Amino acid sequence: MLTFVAAWSVLRLPLLPRMLPETSDAAFAAVVVAAAAPIALGVVGAYDLRPGRSVAPSRLALAASLATWSAALLPYAAGETVAVRELAAIWFALPFVWTVERMVLGRRGGRERVLLVGGGEIARRLVELSSRHASPRFRIVGYLEAERPPARQLGVPYLGTPEELPDLLRAGIADRVLVAFPRRDDDEIVDLVLACDRLGVAVDVVPRLFELVGDRVHSYALGSLALVSADPRRASRVGEAAKRAVDVAGSLCLLIVFAPLFALIAAAIVLDDGRPVFFRQTRVGRGRRTFEIVKFRSISPGAGDIALAQVHETLDGGDGIDRTVVMLKTISARNVTRVGRWLRRWSLDELPQLANVLRGEMSLVGPRPLRRFEVDALTERQDVRHQVRPGISGLWQVLGRSEVGWQERLQLDCSYVRHQSFAGDARILVRTLPAVLTGKGAG
């Protein structure tokens, strides 16, 4: 119905310049589109509403093309004429309409119950990630582990051993099974998956080398064997030049737009806690070159130096880096000013970094710049994050900010570097504003 209404609307409204005579019967063409659209959507797999499933824009474009050709050829066979402008309007409108319709249907589907097979570190991370990142349709109901009782508690109920999986599925406890590196050999895991198939329960498997695969999986078949690609990072000079052009244009425009806000924030800081207005700190950027990051001051003067001194004492004592980072945030939080608390809540203290972007020290999107003691704790594999400019926004900011742990943050940074693209940067920028407005993980 929604497809029919959209098709009829674009056929009746003069959305594009007139190129051919209007159709004599817009309703007839709309009926054709509405009839062809479900078939086209089925061809590209748009009816799979499971969490994490999406349809690539290229596939939606293909479905729109199939429906549009139907709207042109079938009315022509019936003696009707549809204008080119109307066909173009249908082609552009249908992917948007279908995306909205998919979102509406997805919300009506309810929360899908997921059962974990595995109780190790990856399973623990899945439970943690599902509570923070998963869609409203995703809920882990429990986990299975070979040890009874399990050595590790994951924060969700322990429901037995993997051998009990078929009985649990027959009891209707889950809609999906997620295999997370259980202590089983490959043949046993295949048997578990086949048992799920026989019971009509879908299965997701955490891939080996998942750090290299990224979120955009490319696979192909070599005979009967499926291969998953882990393509190397390809740094294109044209791509880097385009990214830098966007950084310069974007930071310059934002500095101009936010100039009145800068003045108001500076006045508020001075009235609340005196000078200085800005907080400066040495950070490590691309190629491990250091630079001075600029923020609006949100803590008492000198508190940052005191916190760093305490951190270095802790490091000398051999404390873990992730625990040290948490401690630094805690110390800083105790010294936040009244205006600073408001600035951090809305991430306004980060705005002066637009000047760092304009100078070429940072980018609008990229891994956050680290302090020297954090860089010293990186492994050789994690140091790949310094192949690109650090950014004001990045994956871990839009996925939870302070709620994201140190190791997950580094994994997200490495994934960003390996799979960086113009479209990926655009998605992060689009998600930055909702993350800031909700204030999730701010601190």
| C-beta neighbour count of 185 within 10 angstroms | 8
pLDDT at 211 over 50: yes
Q: Strand, helix or coil at 47?
A: coil
The residue ranking higher by pLDDT, 132 or 315, is 132
- pLDDT score recorded for residue 318: 45
Rounded to an integer, what distance in angstroms lies between the CA atom of residue 27 and that of residue 30?
Answer: 5
Choose among 431, 386, 376: nearest CA to 413. 386
The residue ranking higher by pLDDT, 341 or 37, is 341
Q: For 73-90, what is the mean pLDDT?
A: 59
Answer yes or no: are the C-beta atoms of 204 and 177 closer than 8 Å.
yes
Answer yes or no: are the C-beta atoms of 388 and 367 closer than 8 Å.
yes
- pLDDT score recorded for residue 69: 61
- pLDDT score recorded for residue 154: 84
**Lowest-pLDDT range, 55-59, 272-276, 287-291, 355-359?**
55-59
The verdict on pTM exceeding 0.95 is no
Choose among 57, 23, 55, 62: nearest CA to 39. 62
Q: Strand, helix or coil at 19?
A: coil
pLDDT band (50, 70, 90) for residue 85: low
Alpha-carbon dihedral 162, 168, 169, 175, rounded to 10 degrees = -90
pLDDT at 261 over 90: yes
pLDDT at 255 over 90: yes
The residue ranking higher by pLDDT, 344 or 94, is 344
173-203 tens-digit pLDDT:
998 999 988 877 778 888 888 989 898 888 9
Rounded to an integer, what distance in angstroms lies between the CA atom of residue 419 and that of residue 426?
Answer: 13
- pLDDT score recorded for residue 348: 92
